[in-house]
Amino acid sequence: MRLKRKPEWLKIRLSGGGGFPEVRGTLREYGLHTVCEEARCPNLHECWFHGTATIMILGDVCTRGCRFCAVKTGNPGGRVDPLEPVRVAAAVRRLNLRYVVLTMVDRDDLPDGGASHVAETVRRIKEVKPDVKVEALVGDFQGKEEAIEEVVLSPLDVFAHNVETVRRLTPYVRDRRASYDLSLRVLRYAKEVRPDVLTKSSIMVGMGERKEEVVETMRDLREVGVDIITIGQYLQPTPRHYPVYEYVSPEVFAEYREIGYSLGFKEVFSGPLVRSSYRADRAFAGATRRV
């Protein structure tokens, strides 16, 4: 299905000023990856302009091959850099971040899926900057409860895992090792282990889903205790990736936002350029005000 050129509401104003050079330079210096670049996020310039970034740990090669994602797929062969948590913490301190999002590639080649590495990174950040808020956006760890516990029992502030799309489209959009119900189980278990920690998930739209399916997904996420939801327009990274079926209008995103609040989410970010980590600091602040 060939769509017309992107509508006005999807046009991005780029900026290289503000904190952009400092963030990029510091991350390069410490040999760190960002999901902002790897996943070709449309908000990269806006977020870096404000001196924030989502740091991707455990390398830049994912063991899964989701059809929506631009991150490289392969087999890292069990390689883990033990000094990465220290470098991440040093970069966070250097940039004086108040809020940091840690995300990760899926690491099915590791016994714990990389959970201990994520937890260690959170601990290292909190050691050097106790006042910083840390959000961990993680994979499903194949549903292993001990791995989920490892992360959620670290001193993080938000546990995030993305369901990505509606139930019907999951087999076509996500890697075969992922599943809609598995994602819900991960989010439910995280909340059961630490009810005090905010949980968060994200949905992409414009992939051929129906409006009632999006609402159903929102209900499912609330049922497992998710506090924060983000809903954004899917943008095809390359021609070989899953196609865009629709450019959802700002009015529909506004409708989803109101539905989300009516369902009891503590914070709802819904808009064409919203991504799971977009203005995560504001989402956290809004959710804590509604606790």
User: HEC states along 190-228?
Assistant: HHHHCCCCEEEEEEEECCCCCHHHHHHHHHHHHHCCCCE
Per-residue tokens: 65 = 């091959």
Number of structural domains, the chain? 1
Measured distance CA(72)–CA(92) in Å, rounded: 25
Decide if 146 contacts 112 (C-beta within 8 A): yes
**pTM attached to this predicted model:** 0.91
The whole domain housing 127 covers: 16-289
Residue 3 domain-assigned?
no
Residue 4 domain-assigned (yes or no): no
Q: What mean pLDDT do residues 240-267 have? A: 96
Within a domain: residue 251?
Answer: yes
Residue 7 falls inside a structural domain = no
Mean pLDDT computed over 262-279: 89
How many Å apart are CA 33 and CA 205, to the nearest integer? 26
- Rounded mean pLDDT of 169-183? 97
Say what angle helices 145-152 and 115-128 make with each other, to 10 degrees. Answer: 10
The domain that holds 95 is classified in CATH as 3.20.20.70
pLDDT at 287: 87
**d(C-alpha 226, C-alpha 217), whole Å:** 11
- Whether 148 is in a domain gets the answer yes
Q: What is the pLDDT of residue 8?
A: 78
57-107 pLDDT, tens digit each: 999 899 999 999 988 899 999 999 999 999 999 999 988 888 899 999 999
pLDDT at residue 169 above 70?
yes
Mean pLDDT of the chain: 88
Q: Is residue 10 in some structural domain?
A: no
Model pLDDT, residue 20: 53
- pLDDT, position 38: 46
SS3 of 77, please? coil
Summarize the confidence of residues 242-262 as an average pLDDT: 96
> pLDDT by residue (tens digit) across 220-247?
999 999 999 999 999 998 899 999 999 9
Residue 2 within a domain? no
22-64 residue pLDDT tens: 666 776 677 776 655 544 555 555 555 555 668 899 998 999 9
Q: What is the pLDDT of residue 250?
A: 95
Helices 211-223 and 250-263 meet at what angle, rounded to 10? 30
pLDDT at residue 18 greater than cutoff 60: no
Q: H or E segment at 44? A: helix 44-49
pLDDT at residue 16 above 70?
A: no
- Per-residue model confidence (pLDDT) at position 222: 98
pLDDT one-digit tens code per residue, 177-207:
999 999 999 999 999 999 999 999 999 999 9
The angle formed by the CA atoms of residues 69, 71 and 76, to the nearest 5 degrees, is: 130
Would you say residue 262 has pLDDT above 90?
Answer: yes
Give the pLDDT confidence score for residue 49 in this predicted structure. Answer: 52
Query: Could you say which DSSP state residue 190 is in?
Result: H
**pLDDT for residue 7:** 81
Per-residue pLDDT tens digits for 114-156: 999 999 999 999 999 999 999 999 999 999 999 999 999 999 9
Separation of alpha carbons 38 and 56, rounded Å: 9
Whether residue 193 lies inside any domain: the answer is yes
